[in-house]
Structure 1
Amino acid sequence: MTDSGAAVRELRKQSGVTLRGLAAGIGVSVGTMSAIENGKVGLTVDRLRDIARCLDVPVSRLLEPRPEAPPPKDPEPTDWREFPPLTLDPVLQSAIEVFEELGYHGATMRLIAAGADISVAGIYHHYPSKQHLLVALVNLAHSDLVGRLDAAAAGAEPVTAFANMVEALTLFHVERRPLALVLATELRRLEEPNRSLLKASMAQIEQRLLDTARKAAEQGAFRDGDLSTATRAIVTMCLAVPTWLDDVDRAEGRRLAREYAGLALDMVGAAAQR
């Protein structure tokens, strides 16, 4: 589990909220609030959300590995079809490679340290466990993916937005394959509350596609009826790409993404519209 208690304490101080004030805000005693901040009481998903609301910060801020070493954040893509290298510290880069090769359970902090050319003690200063590393990578992948989906759909009419989002989802899993593979295969290794929060975030991606498909259907561009099964199948199809596709060249990856967008349009009955 992440060191969320330390993050709560740091963000509370930054927000100018007293321990007593935060305790009152989420409906617990001062003693319980102190125990939360000192890592002696676990945090549920609901309580994390309550704390984030009281401090007026995103829940993700409470799940960063350490306040002094937050996960790297790249600027949101201006062109969702372009994939410049991510800015990763050596530890996270090594973690991706070790997780991809050996899986989460097979990876050790010693192997990751060796790949990063850093001492094991140096890793533990910023990432106290493999779980912290996994959370940092998952948050990084999800942030990059959501930013691309936003850019792909921005300003487009529903049919184009739907096709663009499917293309962006596929491109991400091709171009960011090592990182996407970690996201696809190691989700079950996340501990609570991170697992539930990520599942909820992924469900929101599926819901956005479904909402866009429904708008297109209302305009007569997609077939009538329930589109939820088709949308779920499309998302599953895209998420599975890194599990079966080896590294491909740039042109082949873009061709596959366009093909998946076409398949998705067929699945929602939009073949006649293309």
Structure 2
Amino acid sequence: MTERTVGSAVRSARLAQGLSLRSLASQLNLSPATMSALENDRTPMTVARLHRIADLLDVPAGRLMRGEPTPPAPSVGQSAAEARDWRRYDDLELEPVLEAAARLFVRQGFHATSMREVAAESGMSVAGIYHHYPAKEQILLALLDITMTEIRWRLLAAREEGADAQDALALMVESLALFHAVRGDLAFLGASEMRGLSGDDLHRVTGLRDEVQYLLDEQAARAFPGADVRTACRAIATMCTSLPSWFSVDGPLSADQVAKEYAAFAVAMLGSGA
């Protein structure tokens, strides 16, 4: 069970709004590292900052103070998830440090990359990077937070679009596969570099990843009662996370086509065991 703290309540409210940690930090004029420290209760939360966060996330400040999680918004006509097109991928506008770090982490690995190399790649001074990211782990954390936030809202939006339980599951798998094909670099980091985190940061990002798996499991159980959901859904998730290792935009199939095929594979796999 998640501990009820101010930080966990802020994180819950942020995710319910589909905001990345970096986005909320920017609105508060904070570094992503400071925002992460607030969400993990490693930095004291002032009353003024708490009310500012409550205003930005449109939740009662009292809920945050009591550590209460924020439930998904109720559907009124079109839900917040439905209002966003999960199939649409605009260019991802990362700040220079994150963009440079993502390239280096994918190219040579998180542990093999130094802060000096990130500084050189981003055109910034080492001191300038340390001002915003006190540790290399904080850069990786920001990238993984962006990754998991985007995966989550797209998965929920795809589920909302389903005509029935099986259709919703197929669309969720399509969404997950599409993300791993289109956002290959971020997806690769999410699948291979989580070991670069430690402590509370690792625990939190692992929880976000596990939530994605739980959402698939839950929908599969609705769609195929009696099927071996746990085994099949882990095979499906692994199938999606492997996409960055082989998919190419210059290949014979588009990202959309591959994602639809993966959705069909998933339904067939679960259907055979029902």
Contact 1:265 1:271 in 2 (8 A): no
**Is 1:127 equivalent to 2:165 in the alignment?**
no
Q: In structure 2, the residue corresponding to 1:87 is in which secondary structure?
A: coil
**What pairs up with 1:177-188 in 2 under 5 angstroms?**
177-188=184-195
Give the direction of change, closer, same or farther, for the CA distance of 1:77–1:97 in structure 2 (3 Å limit). Answer: farther
Match in the other structure for 1:217: 224
Give the direction of change, closer, same or farther, for the CA distance of 1:249–1:118 in structure 2 (3 Å limit). Answer: farther
**What pairs up with 1:31-42 in 2 under 5 angstroms?**
none
The alpha carbon displacement at 1:53 in A equals: 6.1
Give the direction of change, closer, same or farther, for the CA distance of 1:250–1:128 in structure 2 (3 Å limit). Answer: farther
The alpha carbon displacement at 1:119 in A equals: 0.9
Contact 1:177 1:247 in 2 (8 A): no
Give 1:243's match in structure 2, choosing from 242, 245, 254: 245
Contact 1:153 1:162 in 2 (8 A): yes
The alpha carbon displacement at 1:236 in A equals: 1.3
Query: How many Å separate the matches in 2 of 1:11 and 1:214?
Result: 43
Q: CA RMSD in A?
A: 2.9
Contact 1:171 1:254 in 2 (8 A): yes
The alpha carbon displacement at 1:114 in A equals: 1.3
The alpha carbon displacement at 1:108 in A equals: 1.1
Deviations 1:61-108 (A, max 9, x none): xxxxxxxxxxxxxx9982111110122111100010010111001111
Q: Percent of pairs identical after alignment?
A: 34
- Structure 2 gaps of 5+ residues are 1-32, 52-62, 71-80
Give the direction of change, closer, same or farther, for the CA distance of 1:131–1:87 in structure 2 (3 Å limit). Answer: same
**What pairs up with 1:128-143 in 2 under 5 angstroms?**
128-143=134-149
The alpha carbon displacement at 1:243 in A equals: 2.9
Query: How many Å separate the matches in 1 of 2:227 and 2:187?
Result: 32
Report the more deviating stretch, 224-233 or 242-251: 242-251
Give 1:195's match in structure 2, choosing from 185, 194, 202: 202
Equivalences, count: 216
Which protein shows a greater Rg? Answer: 1
Query: How many Å separate the matches in 1 of 2:45 and 2:268?
Result: 50
Match in the other structure for 1:147: 153
Give the direction of change, closer, same or farther, for the CA distance of 1:254–1:155 in structure 2 (3 Å limit). Answer: closer
- Structure 1 gaps of 5+ residues are 17-51, 60-74, 219-223
Query: How many Å separate the matches in 1 of 2:180 and 2:133?
Result: 26
TM-score (norm. length: structure 1): 0.70
**Is 1:204 equivalent to 2:242 in the alignment?**
no
The alpha carbon displacement at 1:55 in A equals: 5.7
